Structure 1
Amino acid sequence: MYKPLVVLTICEKLLLPDVVINCAALSVPRACEMDPAAAMSVNVPSSLVNWLLSLEESNSLLIQLSTDQVYEGAKSFYKEDDETVPVNVYGKSKVAAEQFISEKCSNFAILRSSIIFGPQTVSPVPKSLPIQWIDGVLSKGNASEFFHDEFRCPVYVKDVVAAILALSKRWISDGKQTRLLLNVGGPDRVSRLHMAETVADIRGYNPSLIKSVSASTVDRGVKSPADISMDITKLVQTLAVTPTSFRDGVRLTLSTEVKS
């Protein structure tokens, strides 16, 4: 697995990367809370950044995936210049990553994504996917509880890809360095309850299976921000990306899944 890195180091003048996209993360908030050292080690890309800086004549664009959990969750529709006051270790590790990159790099784009949803990958990911999990629970006729007071702007996975492609193409075509921070969310502020209701409506499940509860009634072993919905005006204006509505994204996701 290390051979490409060795080849690049030896032949760096021929194979300098134009764009490096860092999606690596310890992204389960409870796991981060249980092991803060591991969260910081994985989520702050010090080795990657230092390697890029060590390459002679390299001016790669680093695209870093961050998170909406850098925000406190005390209001709706956070903007990029709002203060970051994370309430858990996961959010703190991502703020640390953003600060490290901002201090060390001269050419980067940090994308603060919300919950990313969409079809299962060709090589299935082990982590439970949000829409598929809701669909699986409701398809079995099991009543389940969903929070009515925890809000996010879930983003369809192909819109995240579109943002990354737009950034990459712009850098490769015009070569202008950037120091960019963008909220990458969907256009809709939705609760967990609304997410479940949307899946039920599209699939035709009995809505009585969905039980509305407050997030304050469940101990998840980690503090979770209540409302980290994001203003995505800057994303739309900067990259001309028009994110998919939550309902359309769910429909596209479920169209690829076999209903059990």
Structure 2
Amino acid sequence: MSKKKVLVVGGTGYLGQHLLQGLSETQARAQTTSPFCYDVAFTHHSSPPPSPLLEAIPNVLAFHVDLRTGNGFEAISQAFGQPHVVVNCAALSVPRACEMDPTAAMSINVPSALIKWLSTFKENITLLIHLSTDQVYEGVKSFYKEEDETVPVNVYGKSKMAAEQFISTNCLNFAILRSSIIIGPQTISPVPKSLPIQIELLGFRTPLNAVYVGMELTGLLIRQWMDGVLCKGDTVDFFHDEFRCPVYVKDLVTVILTLTNKWISEGKQMQLILNVGGPDRLSRVQMAEAVAHIRGYNTSSIKSVSASSVDRGVKSPADISMDITKLMQTLDFSPIPFRDGVRLTLAAEAGS
């Protein structure tokens, strides 16, 4: 069986680690029922890469790469060769950090160095799967479709929109995934993000922080913070007027693996943009209520407040819920509901 090469850019991040784990599990199945077999490599910015990740996923090559300059890509060419699939998970994804340093946001989030490197290969056999965001939408209506106008309201969204435009102009073979908030268990090597910052990223209002929406709702956050404050019965503020479609991390991994397998088995050029969210349009209040119901807590401690009641130093789109019909039809796949994702997340955290 001929192995295909998959490169995960940003393999030490939250989604990157879950994807590497999914690829490793695919490798194990390849010994029995799966027709797909991969050689896998990943890039990292911190050095050295976390040893727990390397120990848990053997036979995976790690490369130090600077996405701003492109330094490190040549080493991949020499030691790994041209990948059949590149999954770009790397990003500066904290919106307030992007607002404070727009130059860094653009240089990291627009993968110009990555695409320049891919152009050095003579044969055009690489599929680029790029992670974008629901924040490319303006947030003035519900259930955006892929063909709707994109009018991002903050630097983070603008940088991800610029990335989409750059890829569409300079790549012949790509799939762009507009992901919503990602919910799921902690990674093999915990992503170095303090709990207050995780709370801040997700757009919940707390007595300690003005807060914002970000990329992942990890089991650590659900279990140690949301679960913790709700079980005490203390009153906590949650926004009722910002809406998202949270997606379970393993569903997002399934989408990526399905696209990878589709390209490798069919070899048909892709130029695809997909909304990747869960089936539920939820406010932060509704997310908190779901956790409370699952854990058996009284919801009286959940106080509903408006997102406009706090100045977070950056604009946040109000409703960027997404229509995922195209995703389900294209890949014949349906993401699980938010409550099921919370249950699986809490179960995984309890068993870890």
Report the TM range for the smaller structure's normalisation: over 0.9
- 1:106 counterpart (148, 166, 172): 172
What SS does the aligned partner of 1:82 have?
coil
- 1:84 counterpart (142, 145, 150): 150
C-alpha distance in 1 between matches for 2:89 and 2:232: 33
**Is 1:53 matched with 2:145?**
no
Give the letter for the 1:233 counterpart.
Answer: T
Q: Are the aligned partners of 1:16 and 1:58 in contact in 2 as well (CA < 8 Å)?
A: no
Equivalent residue, structure 1, for 2:331: 239
In the TM superposition, what are the counterparts of 1:163-174 in structure 2 within 5 Å? Answer: 163-174=255-266
- State the Cα deviation string for residues 146-179 of structure 1 (Å, max 9, x = none): 0111100000101101110110000000111110
Equivalent residue, structure 2, for 1:142: 234
Deviation at 1:141, TM superposition (A): 4.0
User: What runs of 5+ residues in structure 2 fail to find an aligned partner?
Assistant: 1-62, 66-71, 199-215
C-alpha distance in 1 between matches for 2:125 and 2:335: 29
Deviation at 1:248, TM superposition (A): 0.8
In the TM superposition, what are the counterparts of 1:92-131 in structure 2 within 5 Å? Answer: 92-127=158-193, 128=198, 129-130=216-217
Q: Are the aligned partners of 2:143 and 2:322 in contact in 1 as well (CA < 8 Å)?
A: yes
Give the letter for the 1:32 counterpart.
Answer: C
User: What runs of 5+ residues in structure 1 fail to find an aligned partner?
Assistant: none
Equivalent residue, structure 1, for 2:43: none
Q: Are the aligned partners of 1:118 and 1:250 in contact in 2 as well (CA < 8 Å)?
A: yes
C-alpha distance in 2 between matches for 1:212 and 1:250: 21
Q: Are the aligned partners of 1:70 and 1:84 in contact in 2 as well (CA < 8 Å)?
A: yes
- State the Cα deviation string for residues 93-142 of structure 1 (Å, max 9, x = none): 00000000000000000000000111111111123353524224324443
Q: Are the aligned partners of 1:25 and 1:43 in contact in 2 as well (CA < 8 Å)?
A: yes
C-alpha distance in 2 between matches for 1:25 and 1:93: 10
Equivalent residue, structure 2, for 1:188: 280
Deviation at 1:257, TM superposition (A): 2.5
- 1:250 counterpart (342, 345, 350): 342
Residues 241/33 of structure 1: CA separation in 2 closer, same or farther (3 Å cut): same
Q: Which moved more, 1:236-245 or 1:140-149?
A: 140-149
C-alpha distance in 2 between matches for 1:135 and 1:91: 30
In the TM superposition, what are the counterparts of 1:201-212 in structure 2 within 5 Å? Answer: 201-212=293-304
Equivalent residue, structure 1, for 2:305: 213
Q: How many percent identity over aligned positions?
A: 70
TM-score with structure 2 length normalisation? Answer: 0.70
Equivalent residue, structure 2, for 1:230: 322
- Number of residue-to-residue matches in the alignment: 257
- State the Cα deviation string for residues 11-59 of structure 1 (Å, max 9, x = none): 67xx321100000011111111111111111100111111011122242
Equivalent residue, structure 1, for 2:105: 39
Give the letter for the 1:40 counterpart.
Answer: M
Equivalent residue, structure 1, for 2:246: 154
What SS does the aligned partner of 1:229 have?
coil
Give the letter for the 2:312 counterpart.
Answer: R
Equivalent residue, structure 2, for 1:26: 92
